[in-house]
Amino acid sequence: MAKSKIVRVVKIQLKAGEAGPATVGKDLGPVGINLMDFCRRYNAATEAQRGFVVPAEITVYEDRSFDVVTKMPTTASLLRRVAGLDSGSPRPGHQSVATISREQLREVARTKLPDLNTTDLDQAEKIIAGTARSMGLKIKD
């Protein structure tokens, strides 16, 4: 059966495995999809990634059916996990909250490589290092 016409594409970032109607209602309610069905599908798809913030792209069709595509966890949540933090620095650039090694940075870059706009691991490291600096993390060689 062919899908009907696409009405809208919604991008949302949620904690993996923790989506509930209360957390997605204001974003997905106006679209008119079944919130419980979305939550069930999202939680099932992201159960293995608990502890990370996982972006999802929801394609909504004319008949109110929808498809959910989950992405890789956000760079910030991967860096927080590696550094063992709950959040970044309140004053990045002035106040450092943690230090990560170059190898930890490379591992995050390897994980995020499919979602980045490069195929070169060295360039991916530079992109991830910029996010780390903006979170108040220092990188040791």
Query: What pLDDT score was predicted for residue 141?
Result: 76
Split at pLDDT 50, 70, 90, the class of 98 is: confident
Query: What pLDDT score was predicted for residue 2?
Result: 55
Residue 1 lies in a domain: no
Task: Report the C-alpha gap between 106 and 103 in whole angstroms.
Answer: 5
Query: What pLDDT score was predicted for residue 129?
Result: 92
State mean pLDDT over 84-94: 80
Domain boundary among 25, 46, 70: 70
If asked whether residues 13 and 60 sit together in one domain, one would say yes
Task: Report the C-alpha gap between 133 and 110 in whole angstroms.
Answer: 18
* C-alpha closest to that of 103 among 80, 85, 129, 84: 129
Provide the 3-class DSSP secondary structure of residue 19.
coil
Query: What pLDDT score was predicted for residue 85?
Result: 83
Residues 7-65 have pLDDT tens digits of 999 999 999 999 999 999 999 999 999 999 999 999 999 999 988 899 999 999 999 99
How many domains are contained in the chain? 2
Query: What pLDDT score was predicted for residue 104?
Result: 92
Query: What pLDDT score was predicted for residue 8?
Result: 93
Evaluate if residue 93 carries a pLDDT over 80: no
Backbone angles phi and psi of 111, in degrees to 5: -65, -40
Range of the domain at 116: 75-140
Q: Where are the extended beta strands (E) located within the chain?
A: 6-15, 53-61, 66-70, 98-101, 137-140
If asked whether residues 80 and 131 sit together in one domain, one would say yes
pTM of the model: 0.79
Residues 112-135 have pLDDT tens digits of 988 888 889 999 999 999 999 888
